[in-house]
Structure 1
């Protein structure tokens, strides 16, 4: 069976290959030179900043100020009231409000919200006995193994890349 080919210079090209080359050229052209629509003559010109910039959010998140927290002052930030969710790891306090599905009251890490989560994160345990009572001194974590300390450092790195460090956890009598 003979197939139809035509010569372009010294190349022999089939109609199918030529069609595919044209389609590819079209897609590449549209990627490099997108069709940007120009406003028509009847498009109203914005007369104020508020009209011109519609990308702004409806409301901005509250400003977060770095401050010192004690276990008692950290406890209200458990997200149960729908507000901010904070937790501490190795004395660093993170605002994990954006991770409400994980750290909120119904999340799998919800028991760490408003608390020092250092021991639980180091030991990969969500048990309530991993939490130091809020009226007790901070957990010195001296009995953690090297691998548990490395695990805790991994969590700190993860949280530092994902959430805002908004404070430092200090003893109850330091504020």
Structure 2
């Protein structure tokens, strides 16, 4: 005859409802929930504000030097390029940072990044570059072509007090 005390143990061991099974079932339910729960909708980065072609005078171009969250613009032969994507080169701390927000034509033509290559009188006439030689003009055109390939033209540079500057002021 079988021992009376072994009967309840056999019934307990055969039951699927054990503490370890409850823990495993709970973990399984949590894993299924985490796998099937809806994910948060992906958020796209905000698009940059649209760039409008505009007329700049040298003093109006100066703030576009990459400081205070501003984009980085520079001018070459009267055309203003948005070089913000090259901020490492043209922005604050970059090797060409002194050209940011300025007319870089003479410096690029002469292969010099010194401050004396920049126009000091921002309210005066634009640099006509008449005294540059053929080799310097070719160097500047090479830079200009490189900028055309990589960067967006966002405006033109005109002298303070010129007809173009006055027309630009009159437009809303």
Q: Give the structure-2-normalised TM-score.
A: 0.69
SS of the residue corresponding to residue 93 of structure 1 reads: strand
In the aligned structure 1, how far is the partner of 2:105 from the partner of 2:36? 57
1:86 aligns with 2:64: no
* 1:147 maps onto 2:138 in alignment: no
Secondary structure of 1:154's partner?
helix
SS in structure 1 at match of 2:137: helix
Question: 2:123–2:159: 8 Å Cα contact kept in structure 1?
Answer: no
- Is 1:117 the counterpart of 2:98 in the alignment? no
2:123 match: 135
| Equivalent residue pairs, number | 128
Within 5 Å, which residues of 2 pair with 1:9-20?
none
Residue 58 of structure 1 corresponds to: 45
- Give the deviation of 1:61 after TM superposition: 1.0
What's the Cα RMSD here? 1.9
In 2, Cα distance between equivalents of 1:113 and 1:120: 12
SS of 1:173's partner is: coil
Match 1:102 to one of 81, 89, 106: 89
Q: Give the Cα separation in 2 of the matches to 1:57 and 1:159.
A: 29
The Cα of 1:105 is off from its aligned counterpart by 1.4
What secondary structure is seen at the aligned counterpart in 2 of 1:172? coil
Are positions 1:74 and 2:61 aligned together?
yes
Cross-structure match for 1:163:
151
1:57 Cα offset (Å):
3.4
Q: TM-score normalized by structure 1?
A: 0.68
Q: CA deviation at 1:136?
A: 2.2
SS in structure 1 opposite 2:144?
A: helix
Q: In the TM superposition, what is the alpha-carbon distance from 1:135 to its structure 2 partner?
A: 2.2
List, as ranges, runs of 4+ consecutive aligned residues in structure 1 with deviation greater than 3 Å.
42-46
Deviation at 1:143, TM superposition (A): 0.6
> In the TM superposition, what is the alpha-carbon distance from 1:113 to its structure 2 partner?
0.3
Structure 2: runs of 5+ lacking an equivalent: 1-34, 166-172
Aligned to 1:30: none
Distance 1:57 1:150, change over 3 A: farther
